Structure formats: structure tokens, C-alpha cells
Amino acid sequence: MNLPDIILTLVQQGKYPILFIVYLIEGPIAGFISALIASTGSLDIITVFLLLVTGEIGADIIYYYIGKSSSEQKINRILAKYEKDGVLKVIKDTFNRSPIKALIFVKSVMFIAVPSLILIGRYESMKIKKFAIWTTIICITKDTIVLLLGYSLGLSLESFVQGYNIYRIVGIILAIVGIGYILYKSYQEQIESFAINSLKRIQ
């Protein structure tokens, strides 16, 4: 079962606690899909916002404490797959220079978000109170933008899908996600290289 189907099923069954777990794991991607669905009236956008923001903040704090409580050996094992072309060193150096700017940046770049959050906890580039405050501000801002984009896109498609059931919209969602994934995989190296170079320039 794909992500849109999972979200639809949970909504139809009223299983919002499980939907929260989906947001905890999938984050903004699940939020964007939910906003598209919410535009049809099948899901309350305020509920989506509250669950998404809470889930993402919760995930960030979990990653922070994974870094804080894990041994150096375990951290190296967890982050081994991310150590490519000195990516982890760039992340650590950037957080030492400007932790808040770096946090804002990495929270917007999916493929370096997880290792960055773990490293913040490991080396305590930011104390937990400061980290919690800033990740909350960033999550609220970012998730608001994601949900507005998804909801607006859903409304713009309303006339196109009028007269069809919600599963037709799921097909459109899958097509959008599929195209996005294909574009990312096609230009993955260039995208990742651009992100890392941008991170290096943060002062």
C-alpha cells in the first residue's frame, strides 16, 4: 500500500494517532499529500497541521537524543552511509560556525537532515532548549508553507477532478510524487553537490 492510500485509509477509519506516527516518520512528504486530500474536504487541514508539526518536532528531538546518547562507534556506524565526499565534516564545521543558520538550511534539505540532527546532539552544537525552540520555529514555518502549497494545488485541481471520487485524486498525487522522484534521481548528484556547496558558504 502506498503513502496516499495509507493516509486515506487512516482518515476514513479515524485513526489519527496512527496518522501522527506516519507524520513522525515521513514528515513533510506525508503533510503535502494530506494537504492535497484536505482540499477535497476529506481531511481537516488544521488537524493535519497540528499532527504534522508535532510529529516533525518529535522526530527532530528523537534524532538529537540518538546523537547525544550514542557512543562514537555507534554514531560512526549509523552515519557511515552519509560519509560521502566529506559531507559529515562539512556539516560539523558549518554548525560550529553558525548553528542556527545551518539548522534552518539542513531542515530544508531532506538527504542531510537526519545526519545533521544526530550530529547536533552528538557534539551539542546547540543545547537542547535552544535546539527545541529553533526547530519548533523552523518546523512551524516550513510545514505551513508545505501545507499551503499542497492545499492550493488541490484547490486548483478541483475543477479537473470534479465529479470523480477521492481515488482519482490519489492517482494525480502519485503522478506528481512520481515525477518529482524521477527528477530528483535524474539530477541527484548535482542536487546534492549544490546543497553541500551551499552549506559550505554559510557564515
- At 203 the pLDDT is 60
- In the predicted structure, residue 108 carries a pLDDT above the cut 60: yes
Polymer length of the chain: 203
Query: Rounded to 5 degrees, what are φ and ψ at 132?
Result: -60, -40
CB atoms near residue 53 (< 10 Å): 20
Q: How distant is the alpha carbon of residue 19 from its chain centre?
A: 15
- At 131 the pLDDT is 94
The whole-model pTM stands at: 0.76
What pLDDT, in 10s, does the model give residues 165-187?
A: 555 666 666 666 666 666 656 66
Nearest CA to 52 out of 40, 38, 66, 68 is that of 38
Q: 146 by DSSP, 3-state: which?
A: helix
- In the predicted structure, residue 161 carries a pLDDT above the cut 60: no
What pLDDT, in 10s, does the model give residues 45-104?
A: 898 899 999 999 999 999 999 999 988 888 888 787 777 667 778 888 888 888 888 898
